[in-house]
């Protein structure tokens, strides 16, 4: 993606785009996601144009995920999958971390696939962080164990958008 500065907004016509290419018809092939940790953004794109831009929380620690429980969000190109219900997070969209590139990198460092971690995805807040922490730190406070989190209203929009596996690029 070329350098594009995103601001939190809902692009007019996005609802029409989602209804035109809604869940019944499946998401169009030109749909994808983009996440940028440095700006705390999750962007839903159609034809490389943002249709939804959300403030998002990422892993607590900076840098590319290296090992299980390092509280980092993976960086790179991945696939994200349709939602499954989550008792804790409302909805959970799994990301294919570790992918083949991550596994190869881990093996070069003497790590097994299991040592790299798993269960990375996009999810709602599920009541965390508490309202008082959000008020004091703002929504750009990175608190997850490595996932990308939007609020529980926004995860519904994300769920309607991701109706088939689709690409996501995650930048640091």
pLDDT in tens, 51-89: 999 999 999 999 999 999 999 999 999 999 999 998 888
pLDDT in tens, 107-119: 999 999 999 999 9
Name the residue with higher pLDDT: 137 or 156. Answer: 156
**H or E element at residue 19:** helix 14-20
* pLDDT for 16: 35
Residue 161 burial (CB count, 10 A):
26
Share of the chain residues as helix, strand and coil, in percent rounded to the nearest 5: 20, 30, 50
pLDDT at 103 over 90: yes
Residue ranges of domains in the chain, CATH in brackets: 9-171 (2.40.440.10)
């Amino acid at each position: 993606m070329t350098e594009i500065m995103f601001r939190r907004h809902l692009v007019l016509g996005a609802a029409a785009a989602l209804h035109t290419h809604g869940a019944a018809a499946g998401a169009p092939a030109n749909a994808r996601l983009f996440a940028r940790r440095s700006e705390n953004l999750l962007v839903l794109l159609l034809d490389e144009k943002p249709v939804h831009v959300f403030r998002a929380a990422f892993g607590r620690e900076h840098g590319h995920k290296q090992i299980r429980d390092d509280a980092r969000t993976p960086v790179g190109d991945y696939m994200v999958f349709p939602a499954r219900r989550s008792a804790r997070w409302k909805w959970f969209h799994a990301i294919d971390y570790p992918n083949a590139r991550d596994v190869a990198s881990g093996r070069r460092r003497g790590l097994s696939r299991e040592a790299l971690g798993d269960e990375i995805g996009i999810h709602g807040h599920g009541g965390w962080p508490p309202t008082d922490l959000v008020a004091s730190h703002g929504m750009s406070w990175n608190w997850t164990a490595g996932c990308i989190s939007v609020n529980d209203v926004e995860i519904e929009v994300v769920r309607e958008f991701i109706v088939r596996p689709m690409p996501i690029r995650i930048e640091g």
